[in-house]
């Protein structure tokens, strides 16, 4: 190979390399990825606060996220308290309950807050948030009516528990009936819907629910608030046996829920603690104080 041909190849190679380097330059003349740091291609805001995608793939979700009721309501509520000054929210992960980003189908979001104390201007620590949204849980107390001929057996009261697989713990767990809030935040309608899906029981009117107020299970990491209710019903012994055999749950979400019944006195006297279900523990404690 002659010298002129080699020189030409070197020139071509250098031109190609230079072209791709230029493509990665931003207007300041610095490399766009000088140390692997990602720079967003646009800007997004919500309630006047910059909402920043932490990684390139999150950009496709940003428009829907900034108008999603679950996210907007959370940010509005935090800002209204005026106990924290937020300079920015950086989104590092997001899941949708839909094939593509849809505002009213926002699932889970992980983000980091740029936040300071407005009184001291000091940075607030531990600002990583798992945005799950609010949920509702119902303590269902079932009175089983025995046939009149079994006059020696008194009617019994049970706490209904939904038994299903819980991936974070790698096992099936028993909990009181619960579900995530919908985009509109309609607590009562969600409670009725979840009870029917998970247990087969139908609550005809929201007035049948006994409010037990809310709990905040993990304020150090998650925004979730759980509204607690109790509901009391009665069924025959035959219905009781049928419910123990059936499988419930939302088929479109691949839920498979078995119903388990614990005698009310057993649940009050240690059974709730054994399940490890904080919703159930709080609900039965508050119910017994009514």
| pLDDT per position as a tens digit, 210-252 | 999 999 999 999 999 999 999 999 999 999 999 999 999 988 7
* % pLDDT > 90, the chain: 77
- Report the candidate in 31, 262, 213, 223 with the shortest Cα–Cα distance to residue 128: 223
At 92 the three-state DSSP class reads strand
For residue 57, the tally of other CB atoms under 10 A from its CB is: 10
Q: Give the predicted TM-score (pTM) of the model.
A: 0.84
What would the mean pLDDT of 149-178 be, rounded to a whole number? 89
CA distances for 181 relative to 133, 231, 277, angstroms: 7, 18, 19
Q: Which of 16-25, 91-100, 158-167, 251-260 has the lowest mean pLDDT?
A: 16-25
CA distances for 110 relative to 29, 68, 95, 223, 277, angstroms: 32, 15, 9, 11, 24
Ordered by where they begin, the domains of the chain are 8-36 (no CATH), 45-131 (no CATH), 135-288 (3.90.79.10)
Q: Which of 95-104, 175-184, 233-242, 269-278 has the lowest mean pLDDT?
A: 175-184
Q: What H or E segment, with its residue span, contains residue 116?
A: strand 106-116
**Cα 50 from Cα 47, distance rounded (Å):** 9
What would the mean pLDDT of 122-150 be, rounded to a whole number? 91
Q: Which of 84-93, 113-122, 198-207, 247-256 has the lowest mean pLDDT?
A: 247-256
Sequence-distant (6+) residues with CB within 8 A of 236 are 144, 145
What would the mean pLDDT of 79-100 be, rounded to a whole number? 96
């Amino acid at each position: 190979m002659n010298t002129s041909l080699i020189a030409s190849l070197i020139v071509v190679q250098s031109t190609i390399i230079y072209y791709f380097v230029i493509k990665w330059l931003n207007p300041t003349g610095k490399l766009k990825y000088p140390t692997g740091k990602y720079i967003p291609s646009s800007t997004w805001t919500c309630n006047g606060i910059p909402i920043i995608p932490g990684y390139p793939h999150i950009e496709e979700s940003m428009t829907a996220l900034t108008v999603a009721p679950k996210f907007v309501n959370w940010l509005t509520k935090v800002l209204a308290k005026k106990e924290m000054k937020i300079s920015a929210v950086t989104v590092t992960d997001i899941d949708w309950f839909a094939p593509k980003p849809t505002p009213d189908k926002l699932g889970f979001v992980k983000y980091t807050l740029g936040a300071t104390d407005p009184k001291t201007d000091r940075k607030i620590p531990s600002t990583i948030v798992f945005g799950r949204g609010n949920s509702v849980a119902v303590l269902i107390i079932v009175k089983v009516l025995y046939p009149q001929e079994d006059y020696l057996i008194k009617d019994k009261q049970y706490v209904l528990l939904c038994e299903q697989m819980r991936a974070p713990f790698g096992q099936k767990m028993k909990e009181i009936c619960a579900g995530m809030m919908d985009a509109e935040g309609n607590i009562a309608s969600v409670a009725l819907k979840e009870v029917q899906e998970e247990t087969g029981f139908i609550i005809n009117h929201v007035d049948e629910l006994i409010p037990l107020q809310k709990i905040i299970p993990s304020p150090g990491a998650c925004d979730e608030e759980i509204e607690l209710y109790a509901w009391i019903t009665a069924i025959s012994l035959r219905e009781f046996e049928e419910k123990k055999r059936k499988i419930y749950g939302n088929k479109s979400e691949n839920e498979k829920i078995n119903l388990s019944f614990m005698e009310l006195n057993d649940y009050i006297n240690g059974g709730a603690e054994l399940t490890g279900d904080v919703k159930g523990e709080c609900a039965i404690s508050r119910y017994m104080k009514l």
